[in-house]
Each structure stands twice: as structure tokens, then as C-alpha cells.
């Protein structure tokens, strides 16, 4: 049997990536044996030959499980190691791999109805919260930092998509405040992904961006309260994992209280 260290799962991630942060927080909250391997998007590391051999999609996060046999050559790079892209799939896989560590509320295993509800929220996140927030933050701020040209029309469309998504999050998923989290009384993988996506909007904090997180969130007090609940439920890992993002946004971090 291979040494224990060789069986440790590896998560290739960038702390500036919203889905990466969600999976890292998920892993740390549940004390999973997952080692984070940094892959820096802004340095082109997701497009390097070495990384593309692991993940031809050229994206993060990517989970690597040396202890799981894989017959699908498109995910194994020919070495038999199981490699899994996509944040929602990774959290689902980890929930089933470590049922003794991951509580059911994160991703239900025994109740197909509850699992379907979380799956529904995860699918909704991709085409709504992520589709809007990612386009807005990328074309307003991140493209410029990567030396690319942002498109104001795409940013404006992203803002409209995000506003509709925030309205749906408040009225439907949070039942106007009657439901503490998106799928029940405790946070799920969907809550974590949505919250991490919205945190990215802190990059819009300066006046020259034409809008900011506070202005965007002002009409949605239920969503604001929910964000705080997600943060509180995942501390201290939530704050720790967002340190890189806050520094990139120019937020002055306050020293921890003794």
C-alpha cells in the first residue's frame, strides 16, 4: 500500500478564484485530508503544459485523488490517478468519500429529496449568481489587472443578470428571510459557492468602477443577512481563505483581537 502522504488528496486552486475558495473553505470546515496546491491564474499557470496535462480544461479548482483508481483516461493523464474538475462536483465527491467527516447538510447523501434540492441550488448558482457576478467583476476590474481589455457592455449585462439573481436568491431560495440558508436551516455547498462569488465584488470598491458592492447589495437586506450567516458558520476559515482577495482589493485588514 502506498505511503499515507501519497494518498493525501490534492486540490489545485487559486485563492483569487471564487469556486476555489469555496472548496478550500469546505475542506477546512470539515477537516478533510486535502492539501492545497496553489495554481496562479494571473501568472498563466493554468495554461502551463504541466497543468494542462493534469486538467486539459485549464481551470481551477481541480481535485486529485491518488488513492482512487480511474479507468477514464481523459481524467487520469495516463497514470491511473483520479482527477476531478468543477467545484460542485468536487464537494459532492468529498461528501461521499468522507461521510464520517462531512455532515449531511453540506451535501445530502441519504435523502434523495434533500440532495435534489441542493443540486437544484447548485445548478441555479452557475447560471445566475456566478454568471452575473463573474462577468461584472471580470470586465470591470480583473481583466485590466490581467492586462486585458474589459468590455463595459458585458459588465452592464452582468450587473443586470446579477440583480435578477439577487432578487431570486432573496425571494425564492431564502423565502424572503424565512429560510436561514438556501436549502434549509444549515449551510450547503450552494450557500458557500454563492457567498464566495459575491465576495469577489469587493474588487469594485473604488469609485472609478462606477458601482460597488454596497450599492449592489443595498436593495437585498435578506441576502446581506444571509451572507453574514454563511461567513459566521464557516469561521475562522472563511476569513482566512479570503485574505488574499481582500489584500488584492486594497482592504486594510484589522489585526485579530486577543
Residue 139 has pLDDT above 60, yes or no: yes
Residue 84 has pLDDT above 60, yes or no: yes
The pLDDT value recorded for residue 4 is 44
Range among 42-56, 64-78, 209-223 with highest mean pLDDT value: 42-56
Domains of the chain (ranges, CATH numbers): 5-97 (3.40.30.10), 112-236 (1.20.1050.10)
Q: Which residues contact 130 (CB under 8 A, 6 or more apart)?
A: 18, 193, 197
User: For helices 189-199 and 18-29, what crossing angle results, to 10°?
Assistant: 130
Kindly state the percentage of the chain with pLDDT values over 70.
Answer: 88
Confidence class for position 213, pLDDT limits 50, 70, 90: confident
Instruction: Tell me how far apart the alpha carbons of residues 152 and 98 are, in angstroms, rounded to a whole number.
Output: 44
Residue 176 has pLDDT above 70, yes or no: yes
Residue 110 has pLDDT above 50, yes or no: yes
Contact 172, 218 (CB under 8 A): no
Residue 247 has pLDDT above 90, yes or no: yes
Full DSSP string of 133-167: HHHHHIIIIIHHHTT----HHHHHHHHHHHHHHHH
From 179, 180, 199, 181, select the one nearest 190 (Cα to Cα). 181
Instruction: Tell me how far apart the alpha carbons of residues 134 and 136 are, in angstroms, rounded to a whole number.
Output: 5
The pLDDT value recorded for residue 73 is 43
Strands 62-69 and 81-85: antiparallel
Q: Which residues contact 18 (CB under 8 A, 6 or more apart)?
A: 130, 133, 134, 193, 196, 197, 199, 200
The secondary structure of residue 181, as a DSSP letter, is: B
The pLDDT value recorded for residue 133 is 97
Give 197: exposed, middle or buried? Use CB within 10 Å, 0-12, 13-18, 19+: buried
Q: Which residues contact 44 (CB under 8 A, 6 or more apart)?
A: none
103 Ramachandran zone, left/alpha/beta (phi>0; psi -120 to 50): beta
In degrees rounded to 5, what are phi and psi of residue 220? -125, 70
* Helix and strand numbers, DSSP H then E, in the chain: 14, 4
- 166-188: b or e for each residue (b if 16 or more CB lie within 10 Å)? beebbeebbeeeeebbbbeeebb
Amino acid at each position: 500500500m502506498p505511503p499515507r502522504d501519497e494518498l493525501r488528496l490534492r486540490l489545485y486552486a487559486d485563492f483569487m478564484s471564487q469556486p476555489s475558495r469555496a472548496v478550500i473553505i469546505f475542506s477546512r470546515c470539515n477537516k478533510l485530508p486535502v492539501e492545497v496546491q496553489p495554481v496562479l491564474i494571473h501568472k498563466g499557470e493554468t495554461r502551463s503544459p504541466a497543468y494542462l496535462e493534469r486538467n486539459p480544461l485549464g481551470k481551477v479548482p481541480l481535485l486529485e485523488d491518488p488513492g482512487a483508481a480511474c479507468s477514464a483516461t481523459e481524467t487520469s493523464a495516463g497514470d491511473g490517478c483520479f482527477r476531478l474538475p468543477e467545484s460542485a462536483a468536487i464537494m459532492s465527491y468529498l461528501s461521499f468519500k468522507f461521510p464520517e467527516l462531512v455532515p449531511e447538510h453540506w451535501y445530502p447523501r441519504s435523502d434523495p429529496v434533500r440532495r435534489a434540492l441542493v443540486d437544484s441550488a447548485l445548478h441555479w448558482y452557475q447560471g445566475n449568481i456566478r454568471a452575473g457576478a463573474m462577468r461584472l467583476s471580470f470586465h470591470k476590474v480583473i481583466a485590466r489587472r490581467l492586462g486585458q481589455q474589459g468590455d463595459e457592455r458585458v459588465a452592464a449585462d452582468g450587473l443586470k443578470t446579477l440583480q435578477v439573481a439577487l432578487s431570486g436568491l432573496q425571494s425564492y431560495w431564502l423565502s424572503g428571510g424565512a429560510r436561514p440558508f438556501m436549502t434549509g436551516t444549515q449551510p450547503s455547498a450552494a450557500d458557500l459557492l454563492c457567498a464566495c462569488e459575491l465576495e469577489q465584488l469587493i474588487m469594485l470598491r473604488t469609485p472609478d468602477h462606477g458601482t460597488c458592492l454596497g450599492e449592489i447589495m443595498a436593495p437585498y437586506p435578506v441576502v446581506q443577512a444571509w451572507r453574514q450567516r454563511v461567513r459566521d458558520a464557516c469561521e475562522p476559515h472563511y476569513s482566512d481563505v479570503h485574505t488574499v482577495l481582500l489584500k488584492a482589493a486594497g482592504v486594510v485588514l484589522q489585526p485579530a483581537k486577543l
